[in-house]
Structure formats: structure tokens, C-alpha cells
Structure 1
């Protein structure tokens, strides 16, 4: 590492950086205007400006256990700087006593489900989906999933800790102490995020683990013996007060789109296997507006790239491609198809981009 000063006297740091993907060799990178934007048990996140391009980046300095560390060399991840979170944007609307425009709810949730479909295709469960972990560029409406500190590759038959995920977004099987859960816990959490964006406040605001279950029962009703068995077989003899389910239409405001309510009901299911998969959620009719070739952001800009699915993303349910990739997107893709040799290279680049988007999760944890 080299430290110098630019013509304005600002500190410039130059380091040797190795690209995270691809065959590129290590190269020198110089940056300035460094400031802390987040920290936690994982390490510290800085914002910095690249001297060559002026681009803002996030640099995550990963802390290591001193018992195993032998020198002052740290892993530093240089990632896209994303200025906002869904949590802060939603809170802005809530404080103004407004609800987030439905087009933004669709854009944010669609990208969240697409992120989940991608990591789940590798067997990776995020285990901490919440609005604070959804990074957002408010100008382009691009969303990135962040903070993979709790993520794990789930293996059938191997136990996992049940005390995981932030309380308001914990799936009921976690509250029941299940250790053999699946990636469908992320789907429950995403359903809670969707409901929160529609309501302007958390749908299940429990004060404790038990109270969290009470809040869920108020809406979904008392789980049946079979539903409890599906969540955790050890709880089948547990007695619960019998409460009827609250109609979903009465949970939300009168003008809430019926398709949004229908999607919520398919995500917030007691039985983990009854929940939609992330890819199925992307194909839900609630997101049909995004598949309209004429749709624009409220600021007049084009929507983010929503339909450039890779084979890996579609691997869990390839037939859904007919819904997920609308005709106009297929025509555009066909028109821009390069030669075979270039196509293979671009396909790899596309996969790298997807990987980097998922990995960027841990880059900018500002909570």
C-alpha cells in the first residue's frame, strides 16, 4: 500500500487489487475521500472515490480473528456503492404518512425474488432478509441484496441453528425451533417485506419470539396439527388457542391491489412447501406491469434490466421462462445475439455479473 497526496492535498491510497472474477491480473487502484459508512461484527465499510474515474465505491474491510491472524494484511472487497436501502426509502414515505407507490413495490420485490432465485439455485439461504439488507439506487430503482453474514449453504440432513433471521421477518418454523428448515424461510421473510411495503409498517411486530408467533396467529389463524408437523414434528402435541384466520383483504388498506394481496397469501403460508418459490413469485401476475414493453419509472427513466435471466437462474423451473421473459425481451435478446465465440464469452460475463450482484450483498451494510 502506498499513500500520497494529490494536487489539492487530499490523501490518496494506492493498493494492488485482484479482480474477483475473470482472468484479469492484479492491478494498482488509487482512491481518495475515504469515510466510514457502516460497521459491525464482520468489519468496516468505507465509501471511497476512485481517482481514475471519479466513481464512488464501497470498500469492505473484513476483520479476522486475532487468534488466527499473523500479520496486518486484511481482505478488502471493493464493490459498487449503493446509496440507499429499502428500509430508509420506506421510512421516508411512512413519516410523510404516504405509502410507497405500487410501481416501486413491484420493482423492489421482483428484484428481491430474482436475487433469491439466484442464490437458492446454488443451495444458499440468506437467512436475514429484511428492508435494511436491500440496497437501493433511488434514481435507477436497481436493488441489490446485501449482508450475507448469516447466509449458509443448506444441506439436507445437516442441522442448522434456529435462532437466525431478524425477529419481524422470522418464519414460523424458526420460532418453533426447527433445525432442518429450507430456503423457504427466505420466502417467508420476503413476504413480510412485501406486506410491510404495502402497509407502511411491519405486518408481524412481535416483542419477543412468543409474541411474534401470536402476531402471526392473529392473521393466519391457529396452525393445524398437520401444519405444525410440517414446521417442526416435535411440536405436534403443543396446545394453542383456536383463533380463526383474519381475511387477507381486511389486513391491508382498501385500495391495495388484489394481486398484491394474493401474492402475500402465497408467501406467508405456515407450511414451508406451500410457499411459492422465488422464481414462481417473479412469474406472479402482480408483476405483469413490469413485463409491459412501455413501462417506465415515475421519473421517466427505463426500468432496470429485469429479464436477462441466465440458465442458472432458470434451472429450478425452466418452463417458467415463457412467462418470465416477455416477447419484447426475447426479440431484443435475439437481435443482439453475437457470434458463437463471443456469445460464450458474454454468457460467462453475465454469470459473473450475477455472482457479483449477489456477493455485493455484504458490501454496504449500513445498519
Structure 2
């Protein structure tokens, strides 16, 4: 049998035609052959063989394995999640329609049986990328050094490119964080991964507000908004940028309540109008009045002013006033990347960054290996001077006690945490 598993038909879904038995995950040395469907294109199942299987991650979603494809000798990641046979898998549906060089590619998918009766797992065969922004940043922190600013620019620019693309498709990621930003340390190519929380947002349809990892959760989600937009991803991206500049999370709340407190400490108390923009159903509660902390004092003294200015345009209470992904790409912070002689610290050329269409939308290409020599480049957008304080209308008692602020935040969480259907 040479490690080949028996396959059986799976008739309860239109997404795939075969289930394989799950024992192959227990023997990393043998060759496993499955019948899988390509991630893009027609549903034409084909045999795919791989070996060298090992676990590289796990969580509430399931398990991620690393494996090597026999035909190409390429490494892949296999994300295995329990499938509810009553529903189509949202992550699969979204990933099948995404095709961009800064988004991890779905190569194949297949189903496998579990140990329990009628237990079925969906297996997503994805690009394998060796590192994450989280681990890269942690490496520099452990060495008591800061990540070179050129890496911050290259990583963040590619993140905004990926967001520009998925948002143009109507998709909101809903879990942007350093752990979900895969990077190749040699080429500095970044790929956005983990679309397990992603959703195609439709105006007028409700969404759950308890979404996104806490440190990166937009304030409208904390205020219980269910009609939010893809601008929640922009807030999260702003938190990632701030974290790379600071060497630690900018809003390190250890609870939902504390998260709101941490945000208010920096941005100040939101005005009534800002609260209305975040959640129209929540406008009457009174907060202690805290003034915004100057952005120049939030960051270290040598932080580039353009980086601070960009953060101030991303971390806005009012969702609609945050920069769009393409506006962020055109910000002056990224001007260095537009210089013909820009290089990585290793001397290597930057990854391809400017292969946009002439209409200003991102191309759907899987080639990010080299810089495009004939590129359409953004000019810089004007940005506020570093130190402009968000929440500048939040005036009042600057010595309001943190206890009062925490009590107010508790009330917000109580009023905004009514259970809602996950949609």
C-alpha cells in the first residue's frame, strides 16, 4: 500500500468529493496520497501525495501540520478543522476566491474522517511560510534591540496591500494581528493568513461584535457594534504598526474592560459624536473626561514622525475617518520604499510592492519575487503633524480617577455584551 489511505465518497456537501481516514497524520515518515480539490479553478479532484508530516501549531480552531509535497518537493501547511456537515465552511469559501501575492494561497482542500463516528475534518493545504511578524518582533525584543524601520515599512506596506485586495472583494479579515502575518525572513515577503474569522460583510446584515483578538480589537467592537465595516481591520493594522514601533502592544488590556481603558488613556474620552459613529445605539452613557495623550509622548523619542503620523490616522475612534488601505499605502511613511535604490539590510532587493493596475486597484498576482521595474507608484498623501492628538474635543477633568474610568468601561461591557447570533 506504500502508505496510501483508502478513500470514500462524501455526499453531504458540494465542496469536495472524498474523505480519507485520519490515521495518516500519526506517521510522519510515510507517503500519504489523498484525493484533493484545487483551491482555485474548476472542481477537478486529483491525487496529491506528501510526506514529512509534523505538527507546527494548534488552537481552538484545530491543528496545523507541515508537510512536503512529493511532486514538487515544496513545503506546505495543512490546516485541519472540524467540519459541521450542516454548513459550508466560510473560510474555505473565502479562500477559494482570493488570489493575491500577499495572501497565503489555498493550494488544495480535502476531507478526512475523525476518530468518532460521523466526525469529518476539512483540511486546507496552504503555502508554507516559515516565520511570523510576531516571532520576528520577539526576536529583536529578546536581543534588546528594535526592529529595523525598513522592515516595519516593508511589512506594513504589504499588509495594507493585502487589506486593499480583500476589502475590494467585500471581505473583512476580523483577526489582524502579528501572529497572522507570515513572513519569509530572506525575501521579506509578507502573506496574510488565517481567514477563520473572516466574513463577507453585507450592509444591513448583523455581525458579531465579539470578534478579533483583544489587543487589536477596534473600539466599535468593544462598544457592541454589529453593523461595523472593514475599517475594524484598519484599526487592527494600526495596532500592529504601533507595536512594531514600541516593541510591545500599544493597548495591552488584560480584559475587555481594561482594553477600553487602555484605548482611552491614549486617545482620550470619545466624544458623544464619536460614540454615535461607533455604535448609534449607544450614546447616552457618561464617561469621565480624559484628555488625549500626545502621540509624540506615546512613542520613543527617535520614532520617525511619519510613522507617528500614520498611526494617528489609523487609530481613530470614528471608523470612517481612518485611512483606507490604499491611502495608507500612499502615506509619506512609505516614501523610502519608492526610492529606486531601496534595499533590505541584507542588500537584497525589496519584494515586489508596486504592481498595481493603472486604475489604482491591486492586481491579482501570485508573483512577489522581484520588484516591478515599470511600476505605477502612489504619491504621498498629506498627513497631520506628529503629535496631533486624537480625541482633542475630549476636554474636562484631566485628573479623573482611573477607578471611575474602569467603572465606566465595566458598564459599557455590560450594556454591549448581549449575546448575538454568530454571523
Equivalent of 1:39, from 49, 55, 58? 58
Q: Distance in 2 between matches of 1:177 and 1:29?
A: 45
Aligned-pair CA distance for 1:63 = 2.1
Q: Distance in 1 between matches of 2:256 and 2:142?
A: 27
Of stretches 84-93 and 72-81 in structure 1, the one that deviates more from structure 2 is: 72-81
Report whether the alignment pairs 1:204 with 2:251: yes
Q: Distance in 2 between matches of 1:230 and 1:29?
A: 50
Report whether the alignment pairs 1:123 with 2:174: no
Distance 1:154 1:313, change over 3 A: farther
Of stretches 110-119 and 291-300 in structure 1, the one that deviates more from structure 2 is: 291-300
Of stretches 75-84 and 25-34 in structure 1, the one that deviates more from structure 2 is: 25-34
Equivalent of 2:75, from 36, 46, 56? 56
- What SS class does the counterpart of residue 243 from structure 1 fall into? coil
Equivalent of 1:96, from 139, 143, 149? 143
Aligned to 1:16: 35
Aligned-pair CA distance for 1:157 = 1.0
Of stretches 45-54 and 20-29 in structure 1, the one that deviates more from structure 2 is: 20-29
Indicate the RMSD between aligned Cα atoms, in angstroms.
Answer: 2.7
Q: Distance in 2 between matches of 1:173 and 1:23?
A: 39
Aligned-pair CA distance for 1:60 = 2.2
Q: Distance in 2 between matches of 1:122 and 1:10?
A: 40
Aligned-pair CA distance for 1:25 = 4.7
Aligned-pair CA distance for 1:328 = 4.6
- What SS class does the counterpart of residue 67 from structure 2 fall into? strand
- What SS class does the counterpart of residue 213 from structure 1 fall into? helix
Query: Which segments of 5 or more consecutive residues in structure 2 lack a partner in the other structure?
Result: 5-27, 88-112, 363-370, 378-423
Q: Distance in 2 between matches of 1:173 and 1:24?
A: 39
- What SS class does the counterpart of residue 159 from structure 2 fall into? helix
Q: Which has the higher contact order (CA 8 A, sep 6+)?
A: 1
Query: Which segments of 5 or more consecutive residues in structure 1 lack a partner in the other structure?
Result: 316-325, 333-367
- What SS class does the counterpart of residue 295 from structure 1 fall into? coil
Aligned to 2:185: 138
Q: Distance in 2 between matches of 1:18 and 1:301?
A: 36
Aligned-pair CA distance for 1:72 = 7.2
CA offset digits 1:5-54 (Å, max 9, x no partner): xxxx9411122333222359544322111111122343322111122332
CA contact (8 A) 1:217 1:223 kept: yes
Aligned to 1:241: 288
Aligned-pair CA distance for 1:77 = 2.2
TM-score between the two structures when normalised by the length of structure 2: 0.70
- What SS class does the counterpart of residue 330 from structure 1 fall into? coil
Aligned to 1:171: 218
Distance 1:312 1:42, change over 3 A: farther
Aligned to 1:192: 239
Aligned to 2:3: 3
Q: Distance in 2 between matches of 1:183 and 1:105?
A: 23
Q: Distance in 2 between matches of 1:250 and 1:41?
A: 38
Equivalent of 1:330, from 366, 371, 375? 375
Superposed counterparts of 1:312-327, under 5 Å: 314=361
Aligned to 1:336: none
CA offset digits 1:265-296 (Å, max 9, x no partner): 00000111110001110111111111112111
Q: Paired residues, what number?
A: 319
Q: Distance in 1 between matches of 2:40 and 2:63?
A: 23
CA offset digits 1:242-270 (Å, max 9, x no partner): 11111111110111011000000000001
Aligned to 1:338: none
CA offset digits 1:37-89 (Å, max 9, x no partner): 12234332211112233221112233213788886764432221111111111
Q: Distance in 2 between matches of 1:15 and 1:313?
A: 41
Aligned to 1:294: 341
Distance 1:41 1:238, change over 3 A: same
Q: Distance in 2 between matches of 1:218 and 1:287?
A: 28
Of stretches 21-30 and 290-299 in structure 1, the one that deviates more from structure 2 is: 21-30
Q: Distance in 2 between matches of 1:74 and 1:29?
A: 17
Aligned to 2:328: 281
CA contact (8 A) 1:48 1:57 kept: yes
- What SS class does the counterpart of residue 150 from structure 1 fall into? coil
Equivalent of 1:266, from 304, 313, 326? 313
CA contact (8 A) 2:82 2:119 kept: no
Aligned to 2:153: 106
Equivalent of 1:65, from 74, 79, 84? 84
